[in-house]
Structure 1
Amino acid sequence: MHSLTLSTDNHRDIAAALAGERWIVACLCAAWCGTCSSYRATFEELAARHPDKCFVWVDIEDNADVVGELDVENFPTLLIQHGEQVAFFGTMLPDANLAHRLVQAQSAQSDEELAALTAASEERRQWQRDCNLRTLLRAARG
């Protein structure tokens, strides 16, 4: 499966694709960012390596109504979550093998391990409040 691309007219379709207990891997980028443009092929390759997960490409400027409040400090930023639990939110070097290992490591955690990690620090607790892509999409749809 290839990645999905969030746009202003497909919020409902993306929300439906993210439903359930699937792992979600979202790349938060900007169209003007050269690193993001070159990372797109790597992200597609990553999606092909993990067909059991839902990969979403999100341009943070075109989709400010969804992700406007997220604190994206650099590009590309990956958001990885399982169900309603955000496992990772941070800048990722544009390296396919590094991203692959990160996705593997996050998705290898049991629900209990993930729950413990999401509550382990204030930063991770903030991810739960602010970075849940499913919640952000629901809020944007009104």
Structure 2
Amino acid sequence: MHSLTLNSANREEVAAALEGERWIVACLCAAWCGTCDSYRATFEEVASRHPDKFFVWIDIEDHADVVGDLDVENFPTLLIQHHELVAFFGTMLPDPGLAHRLVQSQSAQTDEEMQELILNSDERAQWQRECNLRTLMRNALA
């Protein structure tokens, strides 16, 4: 497997990986969601194409203490982040090519370019306040 699934036994490992230098790509899903279940193979395929990034699968119901306040409107939802900057937060169509291009385009941005986008977008500014996976994990472990 090219991604980790967040579980009660590996929370510290995931938290440590989130604090690293790699880009973070998280899939927020639910066990009962058929679309999420079928998207798992797509997520793994995309992760295999980006071994330099940290891919994590998070069941939002099993880990509500981490992501419970996030406004996940539909499944699957991807969260892409670098350092403390959230580059993308939104629903993803179950298309491996589209997911690959999204990860590729977001990770091609520098932190300075992302800062500029954040300054010019209320939605992106909101992502920084509400969707920072590093902060959410730190708070859950505190």
The answer to whether the superposition gives a TM-score over 0.5 is yes
Q: Which residue of 2 aligns with 1:93?
A: 93
Consecutive aligned runs of 4 or more in structure 1 exceeding 4 Å deviation: none
Q: C-alpha distance in 2, partners of 1:102/1:41?
A: 17
Q: Which amino acid aligns with 1:42?
A: T
Q: Which range moves more in the overlay, 94-103 or 116-125?
A: 116-125
Question: RMSD over aligned Cα, in angstroms?
Answer: 1.0
Which residue of 2 is the match for residue 62 of structure 1? 62
Identity of aligned residues (%): 76
1:110 Cα offset (Å)? 1.6
CA–CA distance in structure 2, aligned partners of residues 118 and 104 of structure 1 = 19
Q: What is the number of equivalent residue pairs in this alignment?
A: 142
SS at match of 1:140: helix
SS at match of 2:115: helix
* Paired residue secondary structure (2:73): coil
The Cα shift of 1:9 comes to: 2.9
Q: Alignment partner of 1:88: what SS?
A: strand
> What SS does the corresponding residue of 1:72 show, helix, strand or coil?
coil
Q: Displacement, 1:17?
A: 1.1
Deviation at 1:120, TM superposition (A): 1.9
TM-score using structure 2 length: 0.97
Consecutive unaligned residues in structure 2, runs of 5 or more: none
Asked if 1:2 is matched to 2:24, the reply is no
Give the TM-score taking structure 1 as reference length. Answer: 0.97
Per-residue deviation, 1:89: 0.1
Give, in whole Å, the separation in 2 of the partners of 1:21 and 1:85. 12
Residue 24 of structure 1 corresponds to which residue in structure 2?
Answer: 24
Task: Tell me which residue corresponds to 1:126.
Answer: 126
8 Å CA contact 2:28–2:78 kept in 1: the answer is yes
**Match of residue 76 from structure 2:** 76
Amino acid at match of 2:31: A
Paired residues of 2:26 and 2:56 also in contact (CA < 8 A): yes
Q: CA shift at 1:35, angstroms?
A: 0.3
Tell me, yes or no, if the aligned pair for 2:29 and 2:77 is still in contact at 8 Å: yes
Name the amino acid aligned to 2:131. C
Deviations along 1:72-102, one digit per CA (max 9) or x if unpaired, are 0000000000011000000010100000000
- Counterpart residue type for residue 111 of structure 2: D
Unaligned runs of 5+ in 1: none
